[in-house]
């Protein structure tokens, strides 16, 4: 664990496994995920629905569905291993050190209380403030996220979707955490509001020097916002590294395919190339690389041997048997025919 000595790493996740109980079987929604979150960075966790990205970040807060459990691995937050903490100790970290913005801010706010009451609850019960301090801090927080403090007395339904998302960000910031985990914070929003929220999040992150884990299915959101990215596929991390490096010179065929399938408004016309097939069932996952079935570069070994996540250059990791040929595969992956041949 050389990462533990590294002062710049705020959170280090190692071989995390999360299982859901389905009938009498365990389904591994996250099956051995490792990545680091540096201090003061925004890390994007990107993948398709069902890839385990939401489960992964929820496991870090240890707030999981009743049928789910952490089945292995470690997560070091400033050197403290989170999964070994007692529940009261973990609870001390929540809000204060690690704050969570759930997927839909619309449902995360209590409809029968004013947003002020909800901010005060956190500030007074968790932060130990008195009412006067809480009132002052609430107003500050609202200003920080760009809402007029007069609106503190409003109820959640009186806010638009974008405003509610800002309220959720304000809530996450209440106790000045070191890490904010945001699960699809802009998914249901229109592009203009999405852009404004992302700008806000980025500005606050830079001003306060905090770290953010941003979960999304949208690689353009990652490209716009994140310093680093982690690509997940069917419960595993397939690639991770600096956003610029991963997007411009991906090593994993899945990342290459995702990039091809994504519309790029800045590029001329062009063709969108789908990845054939669908992700495998996690109830009986394939024995080798989970992307093998959809991968145009699949070889015999890919179907039987699980590729390890290895470092291809500093801070850039990939789990693919054909990493040595990545430059060549990148050229082939850019052609639509490559992906059609696999149909």
In the complex, least distance from residue 329 CB atom to another protein, rounded to whole angstroms: 17
- E-only strand ranges, 52-176: 68-77, 80-81, 98-101
Q: Using the rule CB under 8 A, is 157 a contact of another protein?
A: no
Size, binding site for another protein by CB under 8 A: 47
Cβ contact 27:20 at 8 Å = yes
Segment interacting with another protein (CB under 8 A) among 1-9, 69-77, 204-212, 260-268: 260-268
Among 6, 140, 143, 264, binds another protein (CB under 8 A): 264
Segment interacting with another protein (CB under 8 A) among 52-60, 95-103, 259-267, 298-306: 259-267
Rounded-to-integer distance, Cα 341 and Cα 338, Å: 6
Q: Using the rule CB under 8 A, is 165 a contact of another protein?
A: no
Segment interacting with another protein (CB under 8 A) among 80-88, 110-118, 270-278, 302-310: 270-278
Rounded-to-integer distance, Cα 38 and Cα 11, Å: 7
Longest dimension (CA), the chain: 67
Segment interacting with another protein (CB under 8 A) among 12-20, 66-74, 81-89, 274-282: 274-282
Rounded-to-integer distance, Cα 57 and Cα 52, Å: 9
Beta pairing class for 236-242 and 228-233: antiparallel
Contacts of 291 (CB under 8 A, 6+ apart): 233, 234, 238, 252, 253, 254
Tally the residues of the chain. Answer: 343
In the range 166-225, which residues lie near another protein by CB under 8 A?
A: 190-196, 198-199, 217-221, 223-224
In the range 232-251, which residues lie near another protein by CB under 8 A?
A: 243-244, 247-248
- Footprint of another protein on this chain (CB under 8 A)? 48-49, 146, 160-163, 190-196, 198-199, 217-221, 223-224, 243-244, 247-248, 257-267, 269, 271-276, 278, 343
């Amino acid at each position: 664990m050389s990462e533990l000595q590294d002062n710049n790493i705020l959170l280090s996740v190692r071989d995390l496994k999360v299982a859901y109980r389905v009938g009498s079987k365990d389904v591994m929604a996250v099956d051995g995920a490792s990545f680091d979150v540096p201090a003061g960075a925004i890390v994007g966790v990107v993948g398709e629905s069902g890839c385990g990205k939401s489960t992964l970040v929820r496991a870090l807060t240890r707030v999981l569905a009743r049928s789910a459990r952490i089945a292995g691995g470690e997560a070091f937050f400033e050197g403290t291993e989170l999964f070994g903490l007692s529940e009261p100790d973990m609870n001390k970290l929540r809000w204060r050190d690690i704050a969570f913005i759930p997927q839909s801010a619309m449902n995360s706010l209590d409809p029968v209380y004013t947003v002020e009451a909800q901010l005060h609850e956190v500030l007074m019960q968790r932060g130990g403030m008195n009412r006067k301090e809480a009132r002052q801090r609430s107003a500050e927080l609202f200003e920080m996220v760009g809402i007029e403090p007069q609106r503190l007395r409003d109820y959640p339904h009186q806010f638009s979707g974008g405003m509610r998302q800002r309220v959720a960000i304000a809530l996450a910031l209440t106790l000045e955490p070191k890490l904010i985990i945001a699960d699809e914070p802009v998914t249901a929003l229109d592009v203009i509001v999405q852009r404004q929220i992302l700008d806000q999040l980025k500005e606050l992150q830079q001003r306060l020097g905090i770290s953010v884990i941003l979960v999304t299915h949208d690689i353009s959101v990652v490209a716009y916002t994140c310093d680093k990215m982690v690509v997940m596929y069917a419960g595993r991390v397939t690639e991770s590294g600096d956003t610029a490096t991963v997007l411009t010179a991906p090593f994993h065929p899945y990342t290459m395919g995702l990039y091809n399938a994504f519309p790029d408004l800045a590029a001329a016309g062009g063709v969108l190339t789908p990845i054939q097939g669908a992700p495998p069932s996690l109830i009986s996952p394939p024995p080798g690389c989970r992307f093998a079935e959809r991968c145009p570069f699949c070889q015999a070994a890919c179907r039987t041997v699980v590729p390890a996540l290895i470092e291809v250059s500093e801070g850039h990791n990939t789990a693919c048997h054909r990493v040595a040929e990545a430059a060549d595969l990148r050229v082939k992956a850019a052609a639509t025919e490559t992906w059609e041949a696999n149909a």
